[in-house]
Amino acid sequence: MQVFTAVLVLVIVFGAFVVTQIQQYKLRKQASMESIAQVIATNSVTTLLFMDPEAANAVLSELRSDAPDIA
């Protein structure tokens, strides 16, 4: 009976650990995407004002290596 209780406690604790790690990963990923979006917005203002597609491509190509999920 004690072994069953110990295994049950381990399963519950491991499950809580996995759920917590998944939630933290999602929060970190969201914060990362928000900061990348802010960088893109800040760097794209002048390219949009002057309608410069070459500068826009330069800004996005620099970020492509930092944010492979977006590209």
Residues of the domain holding 48: 2-64
- What's the pTM? 0.67
Q: How far apart are CA 69 and CA 71, in angstroms?
A: 6
36 domain residue, yes or no: yes
Which pLDDT does position 20 carry in this prediction?
98
Residue 66: pLDDT band (50, 70, 90) is low
Burial of 36 (0-12, 13-18, 19+ CB in 10 A): middle
Reported as a single tens digit per residue, the pLDDT across 2-61 is 999 999 999 999 999 999 999 999 999 999 889 888 988 888 888 888 888 888 888 888
Number of domain units in the chain: 1
Whether the per-residue pLDDT at 67 is higher than 70: the answer is no
Higher pLDDT, 59 or 67: 59
69 domain residue, yes or no: no
